Amino acid sequence: PGFDRRTGAYADYGIPAPVVAQYLRENRVVPEKNDLNSLLFLLTPGVESSKAGTLLSTLVAFKRRHDENALLEDAIPEFVQRRPQRYRGLRIQDLCADMHAFFRDTNVSALQRAQFSPEHRPDMVMRPNDAVRMLTRNQVDYLPIDEVDSRIATTLWVVYPPGIATIIPGERLCDRAKPMLDYLKMFERSANLFPGFEAEIQGLYREIEPNGSIRFYTYVAKE
């Protein structure tokens, strides 16, 4: 839920996959992976029918919790217990609405598509192995991602899932790479707005600023 099936446009309301995945994990059902709007479950011929039934019944239980607009401390108590200041007293539909609105207003689906379009392919100005060698020799600068414009990447940037590289070492982070940078800046903002729902990102490093906010850093070639 969250997209118009005919147009692919964002709907006014949606249920982000990270919320569902967290509920499932707290009920001992672990998805293989999830992104912002989908979940993957691996069901092989050897899976017992009881396990498939557990998955379905847990999904139905989530829908019931959602439709009742349960408090998060009742729906995902372990998660809330670790982050009470942010989530205590919040209801599940409120969290879904806030997170979905953030993804919609940021137009994440358009950023995901743009990253793989030919016009946004960054310029390769250095061989990847040479860029990685600069990293291993510490010939790099460690900068926040909002300060890396026109610099040369020395790490592989991979958001998991789906686990597809969007920037490789040796590419210049010029205007053509803007969708990639905007996409990662979106995850940085999301990490601050929705702590605990962070994505796994290879090549970027989370740092806690003096004011308590999360900021993403990466290594670029020294110039």
Average pLDDT, integer, range 54-70: 97
Q: Is the pLDDT of residue 45 over 80?
A: no
Q: What is the dihedral of CA 204, 208, 211, 213, to 10 degrees?
A: 50
Average pLDDT, rounded, for the chain: 95
Reported as a pLDDT band with limits 50, 70 and 90, residue 48 is: confident
Is residue 42 very low, low, confident or very high in pLDDT (cuts 50, 70, 90)?
confident
Query: What pLDDT sits at residue 1?
Result: 79
- What pLDDT score was predicted for residue 176? 94
pLDDT bucket at 100, cuts 50 / 70 / 90: very high
Q: Which residue has the tokens 């919790």?
A: 65
**17-106 and 110-221 in the same fold:** no
The fold of the 110-221 domain, in CATH, is: Ornithine Decarboxylase; Chain A, domain 4 (3.90.100)
Contacts 24+ apart (CB under 8 A), 145-148: 145/181, 145/184, 145/185, 145/188, 145/204, 145/216, 145/217, 145/218, 146/185, 148/173, 148/181, 148/218, 148/220
Q: Taking residues 52-58, what's their average pLDDT?
A: 92
pLDDT at 49: 76
Predicted pLDDT at 52: 84
8 A C-beta contact, residue 172 and residue 217? no
Q: Is 159 helix (H, G, I), strand (E, B) or coil?
A: strand
So where are the chain's domains? 17-106, 110-221
Instruction: Give how far Cα 106 sits from Cα of 100, 101, 102, 183, 208, Å.
Output: 10, 8, 6, 9, 23
Q: CA 29, CA 23: separation in Å to the nearest integer?
A: 9
Binned at pLDDT 50, 70 and 90, residue 51 comes out as confident
Render pLDDT for 174-207 as a digit per residue (tens, 0 to 9).
999 999 999 999 999 999 999 999 999 999 999 9
Architecture in CATH for domain 17-106: Alpha-Beta Complex (3.90)
Contact 104, 83 (CB under 8 A): no
Q: Considering only CA atoms, which of 184, 181, 179, 222 is closest in space to residue 206? A: 184
Give the pLDDT confidence score for residue 50 in this predicted structure. 82
Residue 163, sorted as left (phi over 0), alpha (psi -120 to 50) or beta, turns out to be left
Q: What is the pLDDT of residue 214?
A: 97
**In the chain, what percentage of residues exceed pLDDT 70?**
100
**What's the rounded mean pLDDT across residues 97-112?**
96
129-180 residue pLDDT tens: 999 999 999 999 999 999 999 999 999 999 988 888 999 999 999 999 999 9
d(CA 153, CA 187): 18
Q: Can you read off the two tokens belonging to residue 160?
A: 């998991």
C-alpha triplet 147, 153, 158: angle, nearest 5°:
100
Q: Which residues have CB under 8 Å from 166's CB, separation 6+?
A: 115, 116, 157, 158, 159, 180, 183
Contact present, 180 and 165 (Cβ < 8 Å):
no
Whole-angstrom Cα distance, residue 204 to residue 76? 28
Residue 25 is predicted with a pLDDT of 97
